Amino acid sequence: FGLRSSQGAGNLLLSVFLDHYLKDKYGVRYYYRYCDDGLVLGKTKAELWKIRDAVHGQMGKIDLEIKPNERVFPVEEGIDFLGYVIRPDYVRLRKRIKQKFARKMHEVKSRKRRRELIASFYGMTKHADCNKLFKKLTGKEMRSFKDLNVAYKP
């Protein structure tokens, strides 16, 4: 429904039935989840397929299904997770995010709104290896948030 309470309930449910199960009872060391996006890293395909079956089993107990687009693949292919493409030696922004930012910067004329867009983009790029990209798209060096001259509004 998109209600905050349903998001919280979903998060609690997954925390109890999946997160703790995988980490504590199943011993999965590299498991990451944000809302309904999950990622498991393992040494072998066999290990990952076994974990996958365990996840399906746990979700079946609470009548939840996993989307059929799940995959087991080498990290070298790049893991597309939460707006980033993660590889063993670097992290980049997803291509769609770069394109959307460039398009918005071209469309927006208000200086205030442009500064806000740049601040938002800074928030994404600071977690990736994107210093050159940031300079190319914004014309600014990537230093600190306060250098962007944007009022912080929590």
Dmax over CA atoms of the chain, in Å, equals 54
| Predicted confidence (pLDDT) at residue 133 exceeds the cutoff of 50 | yes
Give the mean model confidence (pLDDT) for residues 121-128: 95
CB-based contact 148:140 (threshold 8 Å): yes
What are 23-41's pLDDT values in tens digits?
998 899 999 999 888 999 9
Q: What percent of the chain has pLDDT over 90?
A: 68
CB-based contact 40:31 (threshold 8 Å): yes
What are 43-75's pLDDT values in tens digits?
999 999 999 999 999 999 998 888 888 899 999
Give the mean model confidence (pLDDT) for residues 12-18: 90
Q: What is the pLDDT of residue 9?
A: 82
Q: What is the pLDDT of residue 5?
A: 66
pTM of the model: 0.80
Q: What is the pLDDT of residue 154?
A: 63
CB-based contact 48:42 (threshold 8 Å): yes
d(CA 36, CA 11): 8
d(CA 91, CA 87): 6
What are 78-114's pLDDT values in tens digits?
999 999 999 999 999 999 999 999 999 999 999 999 9
Of 32, 39, 35, whose CA–CA distance to 2 is shortest?
A: 35
Q: What is the pLDDT of residue 1?
A: 44
